[in-house]
Amino acid sequence: MTLAEKIIKLRKENGWSQEELADRLDITRQSVSKWESATSVPELNKIILLADLFNVTVDSLVKEDTEGYEKNDLVKKNEFRKISIDEAKEFEQFNIRKTQIIAQNVMLCIYAFIPLFLLLALRQGDIFKLSSEVSVGIGLASSFIIVSIAIRGFITAGINSTDYRFMEKQEFTLEYGIKEIYRDKLRSYRLTYSRKLSFSIILLLVSVLPLILSGIFHFSSMIALFMLTLMLLLIGGSVSQIIRTVSKYKTYQCILQEGDYSAKVRLEMMRYQKYAFIYWPIVLAIYLLWSFWTMNWGVTWLVWPVASVLFVALLGIVNLFTKNATEK
């Protein structure tokens, strides 16, 4: 049995069309058609992805004298779960509800210190006859209560998320017709997604204007605190809208297993997580050791932005070596 024949057989055993297999490999349908007609041969990295998708070893896939397939024990997979239209709709509705809760509570966290700034502003203007200590005490107590409410909201949002976590972490198949339904939804949502995201980002950039104006015109402390409050209001609204907008788009991508949820990206993320589990605990240890050794917490926080840049560089080096290894 040739490689082309094996690809056809395995694809049909999984119930995929050429287009569905192409989507999982992040290639065109024409490429799959050429492989199956034996007019072209997959590159090595695509053969590895094919073996992973079909849950067989690379050797049994490429050796033409083998008729059967050896299961790949390194990737312990069961048969892909088939998702019905009802399950897809439940996942979509659950994600929308969860996102609304998360967005609201992120906004609450950003707004948490607004009572403190307002009380201090009113105190600066002698509108409230309260001492600075009392104003700060009431403001911090209010902030603590608001953050506590937000934390409770985050916990509530994640209670039932395990029921649908497999759709974000594992491969699955869709019943006939579901992919077309959600492709139409994604296509029709793209314009709204672009508009809402653009508006929210512009609002986020504009949010710093109140502070800039207060610095340029040397406003009083009371006005400056009011400007800071306005900035937080704008930031909270824009961040909340960004979370809602992006999450809905990602939900459609997850159901379709495209973009960040494609088979290729999932495999890359699995590789990145291995390095992250080692890298970030080391960074945390360095940060704590340096901070407690010097007690200069105002400087040691620089570890985090530097570590973030180095982590991106590390992933780039890993990608480069991985690409070179597959090309040899």
Q: Which residue ranges make up each domain of the chain?
A: 3-62, 84-259, 262-328
* Residue 180 pLDDT > 90: no
Q: Which pLDDT belongs to residue 77?
A: 43
**Distance (Å, rounded) from C-alpha 43 to C-alpha 47?**
6
Return the higher-pLDDT residue of 148 and 298.
Answer: 148
Residue range 273-279: mean pLDDT, rounded? 71
Examine the pLDDT at 195 and tell me if it is beyond 90. yes
User: pLDDT for 38-51, tens place per residue?
Assistant: 888 888 778 878 88
pLDDT of residue 234: 92
Q: Is domain 3-62 in CATH 3.40.50.720, yes or no?
A: no
Encode pLDDT of 9-41 as tens digits: 888 887 788 888 887 887 888 999 998 888 888
pLDDT above 70 covers a percentage of the chain that reads 82
pLDDT bucket at 322, cuts 50 / 70 / 90? low
The answer on pLDDT for 117 being more than 90 is: no
pLDDT at 189 over 90: yes
CA torsion, points 328, 268, 319, 249, in degrees to nearest 10?
A: 130
Q: How confident is the model at residue 52 (pLDDT cuts 50, 70, 90)?
A: confident
CA 14 to mean position of chain CA atoms: 28
Give residue 74's pLDDT: 43
For residue 218, what are the contacts with CB-CB under 8 A and spacing of at least 6? none
User: Is the C-alpha dihedral spanning 277, 247, 102, 229 positive or negative?
Assistant: positive
**pLDDT > 90: what percent of the chain?**
14
Highest mean pLDDT among 3-7, 15-19, 106-110: 106-110
Express each pLDDT in 58-84 by its tens digit: 777 877 655 555 555 444 444 567 888
Mean per-residue pLDDT over the chain, rounded: 80
Q: Is 227 exposed, middle or buried (0-12, 13-18, 19+ CB in 10 A)?
A: buried
Over residues 256-280, the mean pLDDT reads 70
pLDDT band at 327 (very low <50, low <70, confident <90, very high): very low
Give residue 318's pLDDT: 64
- The reported pLDDT for the residue numbered 325 is 46
How far is Cα 101 from Cα 107, in angstroms, rounded to an integer? 10
Residue 78: per-residue pLDDT: 44
